[in-house]
Amino acid sequence: MSVAEVRAAATDLHWREQAFGEDLVVLTADRPIPIGRIGFQPQLEFRDGGLAKIEFQAGGPIVSANECDRMLAETVVALESLVGPLNSFRAPGEFGAVVEARATPGGSEIRYYRPREALNAGIATQREEMFIQVSSIAAPVSRELVCQLGIEIMQSLIDFDPPPPPTEAQLAAAPETATEWAIRAGPDVTGLVMPLEAMGYVGRVRVRLDCLVIEEQRVNCAVQSEEPVGMHFGDAALAESRFNRILPVIDGQPTLGRRVQFTVRYDLAGSAPE
């Protein structure tokens, strides 16, 4: 679907159009639309002329984190009538221990996390023909507790469930190859894999991955080093690496079974919760 087709299909909405470079156009609706009892602001991303991602954002001050949990559950139930149950486990950016899991009458599963003090989060996903993620974050902003709700819809993900990470012995025995990618994970993937601990973090992130090339030009990696530690950025880099595909031949040699090392870099300016 193109920008023109969206405008023609949603004539009841006025859209603000922004272009970022040659390959990214963002449409933002002039007003929220109701999903259940909550008004969500729609935003559509187009890459290379086609619709790549749909986002809905809502939020505001709340009295307690339980209120944010309730709004997330209401949103998931409202979506069930349109897309079916959101019961896929887990999303690419879900790391750490689940504090609580709740099932809805329609068969969705909502998983709740508490990555750090004063930060509560919940996530429900569906990974079928489309990838759908519904999430909430309750956190203090300027001395006020705020709930942020989000819905993300995009084409089905192409990552994979990796085998156990390579051992040091396996890596040491494999001949090395250069890092030349046939496919690189895009900014949408980077956004999906960011750990909840990244909320409010300002600074640079560096993760060094040590990998073996496996079937279908994929890489199966282990974290060699990460900075900062203890915030699941290593897990995020691993998740993002599953969307990469290396060239099948580099410098005249097949890459299958070879060792490849590379650094994943994130420079984070921080986000609203503090």
- Confidence category of residue 55, pLDDT binned at 50, 70, 90: very high
- For residue 236, the SS3 value is helix
**Domain annotation for the chain: domains and CATH numbers:** 3-155 (no CATH), 168-269 (3.30.2420.10)
In percent, how much of the chain has pLDDT > 90? 66
Say what the pLDDT of residue 172 is: 96
Say what the pLDDT of residue 273 is: 43
| 65-100 per-residue burial string, b: 16 or more CB within 10 A, e: under 16 | beebbebbbbbbbbbbeeeebbbbeebbbbbeeeee
CA distance 218 to 229: 26
Say what the pLDDT of residue 261 is: 97
Say what the pLDDT of residue 270 is: 59
Model pTM score: 0.85
**Average pLDDT of the residues of the chain:** 91
Say what the pLDDT of residue 49 is: 82
Strands 259-269, 24-29: pairing is unpaired
Residue that wins the pLDDT comparison between 72 and 8: 72
Say what the pLDDT of residue 128 is: 87
Q: Say if residues 237 and 264 touch (Cβ distance below 8 Å).
A: yes
In the predicted model, is pLDDT for residue 22 greater than 80? no
- Average the pLDDT over 11-39 and give the result: 89
**188-244 pLDDT, tens per residue?**
888 889 998 887 788 999 999 999 999 999 999 999 999 999 899 999 999 999 999
- Confidence category of residue 115, pLDDT binned at 50, 70, 90: confident
- Average the pLDDT over 104-114 and give the result: 95
**58-102 pLDDT, tens per residue?**
999 999 999 999 999 999 999 998 999 999 988 888 998 999 999
Say what the pLDDT of residue 68 is: 94
**Phi/psi of residue 8, nearest 5 degrees:** -70, -35
CA distance 184 to 244: 5
CA distance 254 to 258: 8
In the predicted model, is pLDDT for residue 271 greater than 90? no
**157-195 pLDDT, tens per residue?**
888 888 899 999 999 999 999 999 999 988 888 888 999
For 91, the enclosing helix (H) or strand (E) is: none
In percent, how much of the chain has pLDDT > 70? 98
